[in-house]
Amino acid sequence: MRIDVITLFPELFERFLAVGMVGRAFSTGAAQARLRNPRDFGLGRHRSVDDTPYGGGSGMVIRVDCVVNCMEALDAEAVTPGETPVRAHRLLLTPQGQPFTQQKALDLASRPAIALLCGRYEGFDERVRSFVDEEISLGDFVLSGGEVAAMAVIDACVRLLPGVLGNAGSIEHESHSPALGGLLEYPHYTRPVEFRGLRVPEVLQQGNHAAIARWRGQQAEMRTTERRPDLWEKVKKERS
């Protein structure tokens, strides 16, 4: 899987791409990352990529030509010599986008290449939207730039790639996974059996796997109804 990141601050990703499960994905070759600054395609002596908005208003707007030239240059380059270039599935990170979900992470992780477009300032010239495939949001809030959102998307996707997690079963029964029917994950416990009056449930200590499975299913439903009633309503509709 190839992941291209278009950002004015590529240095923010250098450490992120080198540690933990994300670092393993890129060090083992399960994924390849390319960071590209739109300023490489900026204008004038200062490599300007933004300008004042038409119609007036505060802030600066990122130019469409600089961004599109950057994305197209990445698509024209092969990751390795002799390889046929692949056009990335382009994602604009914006609070106006569709909510990012586990299902979307599964979809993106199955693609050969994605490009994450990180904004800054007052955002992009509206015409940028004509050159992307999807718009994605982490939630109903605004960040100072798209870099943190891009990191979240990268983390969610690369952990799904084969061989990245030490135990492939780790992603099967987790919150929002198909195996759990989209529910929140059930509670987990480990030693000690008791800590300050809080005990590990007896059913988990008895080794009855059928009973444990029933308990975990009940706990997943209970946790979802209590913490995410909106999600529980969605699950009920899908079950009916």
The pLDDT tens digits of the residues spanning 11-56 come to: 999 999 999 999 999 999 999 999 999 999 999 999 999 999 999 9
Q: Which two tokens stand for residue 116?
A: 């994450």
For a pLDDT cut of 90, what percent of the chain falls above it?
A: 92
* pLDDT at position 37: 98
Among 4-18, 46-60, 76-90, 116-130, which is the least confidently predicted range?
Answer: 76-90
* pLDDT at position 1: 95
Among 43-57, 101-115, 165-179, which is the least confidently predicted range?
Answer: 165-179
- Mean pLDDT, residues 48-67 taken together: 96
Q: Does domain 2-158 have CATH number 3.40.1280.10?
A: yes
Residues of the chain with CATH 1.10.1270.20: 172-239
Residues of the chain with CATH 3.40.1280.10: 2-158
User: Would the pLDDT of 161 be above 80?
Assistant: yes
User: Would the pLDDT of 169 be above 80?
Assistant: no
**Known binding residues for S-adenosyl-L-methionine:** 119, 138-143
- Mean pLDDT, residues 190-201 taken together: 98
- In degrees and rounded to multiples of 5, residue 172 shows phi and psi of -80, -45
- CA gyration radius, the chain: 22
* pLDDT at position 189: 98
- Mean pLDDT, residues 98-103 taken together: 96
pTM: 0.93
Model confidence at 240, in pLDDT bands (50, 70, 90)? confident
Q: Which residue has the tokens 């979240």?
A: 152
Q: State the CATH class of domain 172-239.
A: mainly alpha
How far is residue 62's CA from residue 88's CA, in Å, rounded to a whole number? 21
**Known binding residues:** 119, 138-143
Q: Residue 86 to residues 26, 178, 226: CA-CA distances in angstroms?
A: 18, 30, 45
